[in-house]
């Protein structure tokens, strides 16, 4: 399957997405493990099986089992955290905002078994897809502390945006039966 199969499934009206998917992962400023892990994380939280399977196939050339488990850990925890922190950002009641989360987030301390830089990058990809501004800013700041560049952060954002758009497009194409 792979990314090329995903690209060939993207309809002509979304040619820009097809072209972007072919380049954002492989021509970024990121090391392959960061780029492919960000793409896989974005695919997981975008929930399109075709995109997940295609990216996973190619990602396995760059990610070992520990990396893939780290990607899954980032996608899982950010699926909770992105909702929680969007909620606390949106709620206007200051007393509600001050309440502790009381949610387990221990995986954030172990970084899913990978380096902190990788886990933060993959968490950023999930946060971009899930549109959580609080988490996007927190993970971008942590990446900068890990000495990743502004370009690295932008490239993760690009990967997440393109993977999400491709996943959405293929999902609605499947729903429309075209």
CATH number reported for the structural domain that contains residue 60 in this entry? 1.20.1290.10
Give the active site residue among 40, 132, 166, 167.
132
Nearest to 85 by CA among 128, 135, 136: 135
Q: What count of residues does the chain have?
A: 178
CA distances in angstroms from 152 to 37, 126, 139, 171, listed in the order given: 13, 15, 12, 28
**pLDDT score of 57:** 98
- Residue 22 pLDDT: 84
42, 168 Cβ separation under 8 angstroms? no
Residue-level pLDDT at 110: 87
Give the predicted TM-score (pTM) of the model: 0.95
Query: Catalytic residue at 132?
Result: yes
Domain tally for the chain? Answer: 1
Residues of the chain with pLDDT under 70: 178
Element holding 68 (H helix, E strand):
helix 65-90
The domain in which residue 161 lies consists of 2-176
CA distance 18 to 16: 5
Residue-level pLDDT at 120: 97
d(CA 144, CA 150): 8
CA dist 19 and 3 (Å) reads: 11
Q: Which of 124, 128, 129, 135 is catalytic?
A: 135
């Amino acid at each position: 399957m792979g990314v090329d199969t995903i690209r060939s499934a993207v309809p002509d009206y979304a040619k820009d997405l097809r072209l972007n998917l072919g380049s954002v992962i492989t021509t970024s400023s990121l090391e392959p493990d960061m780029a492919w892990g960000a793409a896989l994380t974005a695919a997981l939280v975008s929930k399109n099986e075709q995109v997940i399977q295609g990216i996973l196939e190619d990602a396995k050339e760059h990610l070992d089992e520990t990396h893939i488990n780290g990607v899954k850990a980032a996608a899982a925890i950010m699926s909770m955290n992105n909702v929680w922190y969007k909620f606390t950002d949106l709620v206007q009641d200051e007393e509600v905002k001050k309440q502790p989360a009381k949610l387990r987030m221990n995986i954030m301390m172990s970084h899913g078994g990978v380096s902190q830089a990788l886990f933060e990058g993959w968490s950023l990809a999930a946060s971009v897809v899930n549109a959580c501004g609080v988490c996007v800013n927190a993970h971008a700041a942590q990446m900068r502390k890990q000495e990743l560049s502004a370009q690295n952060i932008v490239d993760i954002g690009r990967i997440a945006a393109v993977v999400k758009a491709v996943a959405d497009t293929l999902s609605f194409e499947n729903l429309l039966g075209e």
